[in-house]
Amino acid sequence: MSVESQRVAVIGAGTMGNGIAHVFAQSGHEVSLVDVNAAALERALSTIDRNLDRLVAKEKISAEDKAATLARLKTSTEMHGAVSDANLVVEAATERLDLKLKIFEQIDASAPADAILATNTSSISITRIAAATGRADKVIGMHFMNPVPIMKLVEVIRGYDTSDSTTSKVVELSRQLGKIPVEVNDYPGFVANRILMPMINEAICSLHEGVAGVAEIDEVMKLGMAHPMGPLHLADFIGLDVCLSILRVLHDGFGQPKYAPCPLLVNMVTAGKLGVKSGEGFYVHTKGSKDITVAPAFS
């Protein structure tokens, strides 16, 4: 597989899927972006359009580059057609094991036998996902960071049976996208979320116990630890439902109470306060604006 021009199917057009489709299309690959929800596809296209406009305005790409990128991008609500001629599939659907197992069974049945099947999962076992297919050697974790067009890291996760050849292709492809791949092994949360999520959970517990308010907790971590964004703001950005799913994977995978999700996080997700994607989490977020205010529940 030459990394120059792949046919890539991206499954899931939410927070991550639109960014993944964007970087592949901008790097010269033909992309089919698939979602079961047509409205998510429309939102994804308008986000990509807006993000490309920003790059044009900053003179990082030309208007022609933008048009060529969009011309390489198709959308569909039907997975079979999109993956049947793909040489790479990157799954970025909702972080739920049952859903991912079902999607990988379907992709395995539809994609060419030599296609690599990657997942952008934040925490779910690559080995477990690979076992739902008949090609465990070609299944790998390709964990992009949010926002995908900006963040450099791709955590490349080898499952138990992932081959050297699959790993080296994905590493090479990540570099061609302008990213920096880092190889890690398949344990709950991998490296990024094994370290990040307990910090976010501890910030939520600190809020829950009244140690400090939302803005104060974030300010301490920004000023004191030189983090560009406080942990509660970051949680809103990631999606509180995604944070909760990852903590549950860590808790189940290691069986240690230190990973138990804070009850406040569970309540917020149950109430539909998911952060940026729902408009409210620890902060209130207004579409199209970077300004945030602390949510009424915490002010």
Active site residues: 122, 143, 155, 193
Site track 219-258 with ligand NAD (rule: CB under 6 A), x = hit? -------------------xx--x----------------
Element (H, E) at 203: helix 192-208
Q: Which is nearer to ligand NAD, 65 or 188 (CB)?
A: 188
CB-based contacts of 27-31 (< 8 A; 24+ apart in sequence): 27/176, 27/177, 27/178, 28/4, 28/72, 29/5, 29/72, 30/5, 30/6, 30/72, 30/74, 31/72, 31/73, 31/74
Q: How far is the CB of 120 from ligand NAD (least distance, A)?
A: 4
Q: How far is the CB of 73 from ligand NAD (least distance, A)?
A: 16
Residues 2-31 binding ligand NAD (CB under 6 A) are 11-17
Whether the Cβ atoms of residue 154 and residue 27 lie closer than 8 Å to each other: no
Distance CA 112, CA 75 (A): 20
Q: How far is the CB of 81 from ligand NAD (least distance, A)?
A: 13
Q: How far is the CB of 276 from ligand NAD (least distance, A)?
A: 9
Distance CA 257, CA 248 (A): 11
Site track 254-293 with ligand NAD (rule: CB under 6 A), x = hit? -----------------------x----------------
Residues 105-134 binding ligand NAD (CB under 6 A) are 120-122
Nearest Cα to Cα of residue 126 among 92, 161, 166: 161
Distance CA 283, CA 166 (A): 41
- Residue that is written with structure tokens 């999109």 in the block: 82
Binding residues vs ligand NAD (CB under 6 A): 11-17, 34-37, 40, 92-95, 99, 103, 120-122, 143, 146, 238-239, 242, 277
